[in-house]
Chains A and B, each alone.
Chain A
């Protein structure tokens, strides 16, 4: 053009050094035949009926900037562990109220382990004297059920929170999250077990564990959980099914202050109780899990409420349904029936004994830990018969679903690449690849407890439904039909 500025597309007029191809293999082959290197995309159509929603969300000019905002906010969160206090003080729940994992549910639709845990909570709180009486009470509708997620809480497996339970308190930038204290493995409330042993342990946690941790933590001052997670990921934990290194790091940080609460101040803890607390933690490799979950909740919540964003900010299961939330649709749950995990079984248990997927612990995957960080925790991959190469491959596959990498939670084996971070519901639907979630497996029958551990994938329907809702509210150019605009 006469005297105009240079064309911005002038670089098109050079032989391409490399070409990305998506679609017909013939066209890729034609380039290879000319000696041009290609990067073929392994494309497949999105689930039937979802193409219009995908296009609608992609065409919403708000989506990309909103996703950047949501991911940036999440990446900036530095969660701190600050306190341990009873649920009644923290959450304002009262007599006959319990919180549970996952999306909303009622007694009628609750699974065996969820019912078992509710029964156990009724026995623990003294609302009922026998399991039968507890069941009758719950079935009568007298026990009010509410999702943990709606109260800035998270709980693994059944995720039951009743008023007397001590809870971890975490904060970041003036926001708070809480999570239960981990009971250990085997016959424990969160896996749906109930009875005297369960109640006794919960009472000890309430009387001894909670107050001692609280006094030690207050003495120590806030613990930087973001930094702790960075360390544990570098030490072979993925923060969901493996918390061994992280639990040890917590003990290392707290032990001196726990010891110093003996004969000091208001707490004046008994030396035997402090020793019991340290032994209890030592016997439970998963003790830190609930802290990681509380931190993950703070991280995920930071992304919530960004209009137009398709970033996933919650994945949670109640033992019956899998539910997700995305940043652009507020507190709305998108649910579908939960799958049974694929994994290995304890003792004489097998797949027939397994309940459907359960727990808020998928909040760890929501922020790039757990199944997303498997490359750094190859021990976990054996649960489904994989090898160390699969561990790398699964984390690498999860990068296909995320918009960013976490700035400080890095994987040494991938050259210190950040864990896959900022799950995009659009990517999940476009690729048909569901997130990989590491999980424990609860027994199907109330009272059984844990029967195994393995991997599970959320149903794609959750994500297609979320996209349909985003597309409905999209501020989008009209893509279909003649004429355009």
Chain B
């Protein structure tokens, strides 16, 4: 055991620096005790207590005391202390200091007074807190999160009304504000149309149909799927209608929703009639016009040519018509609902996990038992804790494989949606096409609706060609895709719909 005690007269370091230096030397293997301290009475007593001789030192003197397993180790410890004391200042604040990221919406809002909108996509049970924080910071809020209690939605929208702010959502998948897309949004040319949308994918389908007809969309205000229920009372829809009616750049307003609850429908229709701007209702449901019809009506209201939605077919034709049940696999709830309506009009009863009629409702993992089926794979129950199929279509591909491999009991016709745009998977066709190719190779027919624009980052044509290459018929109109699937299922063969084919 070696003991070294050194006294340096008149050398001062503050106690914290010295404790740091001691700690650095203490880490050296073989070092027993290290004390680097000013020679105050207290520190001298500590030295004695630790077994060192009492140094002849004053409070103005630096004392370094080391006990170690040998002279070399002790010298190494003293050197380590010296290095530490010499290295002070290395950690001084430089110009590169970055403050920590904001941990709450309140903090972010304080740092960004010019951020008028907050996008909330935390898990549903936590969304109320962040959305309320946004409203209290004076911001509009888009609640992308699903699984938010309706009580929380009502509370948020009541607070928003008082604050003169707007809540888009909850479960608001898409919004476009003067050309800037929030959430899932297709890249559209700004124009004279604005949409109020209780349905995210419905709004995307309508945007894309209008885009295909050369009609631009300026705003999409999502309001959440429950806004037009009697519980919520259309609070956000009414506020959005009023705002859009005031915008001189908006010439036609479209209202996209499932059919509202009757008492809310009355208030909303009254508000729509009070608007100076024409309002076209696109309410997806049995016995109602499709979104493709609504796109045509909007075009008429603008005095523009009627949309003629594009489609693509495999060069070899749609493959052998094999009558059999349709299996619809949708990532978009409104696409699923609209397909359900179109199929039932043509084929009779269709079962679904989102059917309005409980008698025709099945669980998302139930067998359709040979019946025509439409599944909404983006339903809350299937996405809790998992990515939405628009973000990761692997879940859809799995269903194509398990349900469409041409087995005797398998479906005759696969019908699915592929959604492009910001927020969606960067190349959904690359995930879906291999599964579709396997299915079509074994005799199933496949029809896809491609919800996208030529401006979308995934490339509309590239996606269409990949799907067609897998043997699928591709439509930009969901209604047309569903109608073609129905025709294939009855063995009637491909039915010519529309006139504008793409060039695969």
Contacts and interface: CB of A to CB of B under 8 A. Distances in A.
Contacts of B125: 51-52, 55
A16 B120 contact: no
Contacts of B145: 23
Given A54-B129, A58-B128, A31 B180 contact: yes
A342 to B, nearest CB: 12
A383 interface: yes
Contacts of B154: 477, 484-485
A155 to B, nearest CB: 21
Contacts of A380: 16
A17 B116 CA distance: 8
B290 to A, nearest CB: 28
B104 A430 contact: yes
A45 B17 contact: no
A427 B133 CA distance: 11
Contacts of B391: 26
A479 B99 contact: no
B245 A24 contact: no
Contacts of B183: 27, 30
B19 A344 contact: yes
Nearest to A30: B422
Interface string A8-24: 11111111111111111
B120 A23 contact: yes
B295 to A, nearest CB: 22
Contacts of A108: none
Contact of A21 (B50, B111, B119, B133): B119
A72 interface: no
Contact of A14 (B17, B19, B46, B178): B178
Nearest to B111: A39
A481 B42 CA distance: 64
B105 A383 contact: no
Interface string B51-63: 1000000000000
Interface stretch (B236-244, B321-329, B436-444): B236-244
A483 interface: yes
Contacts of A390: 91
Contacts of A6: 246
A473 to B, nearest CB: 18
Contact of A22 (B93, B105, B232, B276): B105
Chain B CB within 10 A, most for which of A344, A385, A413: A344
A44 B299 CA distance: 45
Interface string B92-124: 111001011111111111011011111111110
A55 B133 CA distance: 11
Interface residues of B, number: 98
Interface in A315-372: 344-348
Chain B CB within 10 A, most for which of A20, A45, A54, A389: A20
Given A39-B111, A41-B102, A399-B107, A347 B46 contact: yes
A400 B103 contact: yes
Contacts of B128: 55, 58-59, 479
A60 to B, nearest CB: 11
A431 interface: yes
A480 B154 CA distance: 10
Contact of A389 (B97, B126, B139, B182): B97
Contacts of A7: 239, 242-243, 245-246
Given A58-B133, A348-B35, A392-B93, A12 B100 contact: no
A23 B16 contact: no
A382 B16 contact: yes
A9 B45 contact: no
B16 A379 contact: yes
A12 B35 contact: no
A348 B103 contact: no
A389 B247 contact: no
Given A4-B242, A13-B247, A39-B115, A389 B185 contact: no
B179 interface: yes
B150 A11 contact: no
Contacts of B140: 9, 11-12
A335 B178 CA distance: 52
A42 interface: yes
Interface string B179-206: 1111101000000000000000000000
A43 interface: yes
Nearest to A57: B129
A308 to B, nearest CB: 15
A24 B386 CA distance: 12
Interface string B303-327: 0000000000000000000000000
Contacts of B107: 41, 399-400
B23 A344 contact: yes
Contact of A479 (B23, B139, B155): B155
Contacts of A31: 119, 180, 182, 422
Contacts of A43: 103-104, 122, 130
A250 B254 CA distance: 72
A393 interface: yes
Given A9-B164, A345-B19, A427 B104 contact: yes
A429 to B, nearest CB: 10
B94 to A, nearest CB: 7
B276 A2 contact: yes
B136 interface: yes
Interface string A167-190: 000000000000000000110000
Nearest to B250: A13
Nearest to A393: B100
A387 B92 contact: yes
Contacts of B239: 7, 9
Nearest to B51: A348
A61 B123 CA distance: 23
B116 A11 contact: yes
B219 A1 contact: no
Interface in B133-179: 133-134, 136, 139-140, 144-145, 149-155, 158, 164-166, 177-179
A480 B136 contact: no
Interface string B401-430: 000000000000000000000110000000
A401 to B, nearest CB: 9
A295 B37 CA distance: 32
Nearest to B16: A382
Contact of B19 (A22, A346, A400, A413): A346
A32 B17 CA distance: 44
A388 interface: yes
Nearest to A391: B93
A12 B112 contact: no
A396 interface: yes
B221 interface: yes
A137 interface: no
A23 B23 CA distance: 41
Interface of A: 1-2, 4, 6-24, 26-28, 30-31, 33-34, 36, 39-43, 45-46, 51-52, 54-55, 58-59, 64, 185-186, 344-348, 378-380, 382-383, 385-390, 392-393, 396-397, 399-400, 413, 427, 430-431, 433, 452-453, 477-485
- 4 A-B pairs with the lowest CB-CB distances in the bound complex, closest first: A387-B91, A23-B121, A484-B154, A8-B164
Given A15-B179, A55-B126, A346-B19, 9 more contacts: A8-B165, A10-B247, A12-B177, A16-B180, A27-B183, A59-B132, A383-B19, A387-B90, A453-B16
23 contacts: A9-B166, A11-B116, A12-B243, A13-B178, A13-B243, A16-B115, A17-B115, A19-B118, A20-B117, A22-B121, A26-B391, A30-B183, A31-B422, A40-B101, A41-B104, A42-B103, A46-B126, A55-B125, A383-B16, A393-B99, A399-B107, A430-B104, A481-B150
